[in-house]
Amino acid sequence: MVFQRLAAFVAIVLLMPAPARALNNCTTFGDYRDRSLVTVMTQGFRYSPACARISQGATVRIVSEFGSHPLYGGTVSGGNATIDPASPIGPFVQGLQAEVQLNTLGEFPYFCDFHYGMGMMGSILVEPEPVMFGDSFE
């Protein structure tokens, strides 16, 4: 009986379409849900990793020269950047690193205000911590 319920649940989950995501060109996300701290670094005119999936409550450390690469939370679409004043990310306009703990589920895009036209943007996807089943699953 337990196996049948589990098989039905897995089948339903596998048949559900994945939510469409493409904020700031993030169509795939690196999976960092096993980390409590994820570091995003500037590499040239890109962020690495630019698109990261993290667990709720994790901290993102952004290492960059913010005077040369001011970072704002918001989206880039059609060559235009739109700052999201409600974003938990940024603004970071001075210094060399900043940290933000993300406790709210959702997607939080960000960009460099000077170089978004060169592709300097990304997004953080915050999801619930994965549920692990122990040996006593029934």
pTM of the model: 0.80
* 51 in any annotated domain: yes
Answer yes or no: is pLDDT of 137 > 90: no
* 10 in any annotated domain: no
* 31 in any annotated domain: yes
Answer yes or no: is pLDDT of 72 > 50: yes
pLDDT tens digits along 52-71? 999 999 999 999 999 999 99
Q: Torsions phi, psi of 49, nearest 5?
A: -75, 145
pLDDT recorded at residue 1: 54
pLDDT tens digits along 21-52? 579 999 999 999 999 999 999 999 999 999 99
pLDDT recorded at residue 90: 94
CB atoms within 10 A of CB 105: 11
* 2 in any annotated domain: no
* 8 in any annotated domain: no
Alpha-carbon distance 71 to 110, whole Å? 7
* 54 in any annotated domain: yes
pLDDT recorded at residue 130: 72
Answer yes or no: is pLDDT of 83 > 60: yes
CATH number of residue 39's parent domain:
2.60.40.420
Tokens of 15: 């048949």
* 136 in any annotated domain: no
Domain that holds residue 48: 21-127
What is the β-pairing status of strands 97-101 and 59-63? Answer: antiparallel
Alpha-carbon distance 34 to 18, whole Å? 21
What is the β-pairing status of strands 51-55 and 37-43? Answer: unpaired
* 12 in any annotated domain: no
Domain count for the chain: 1
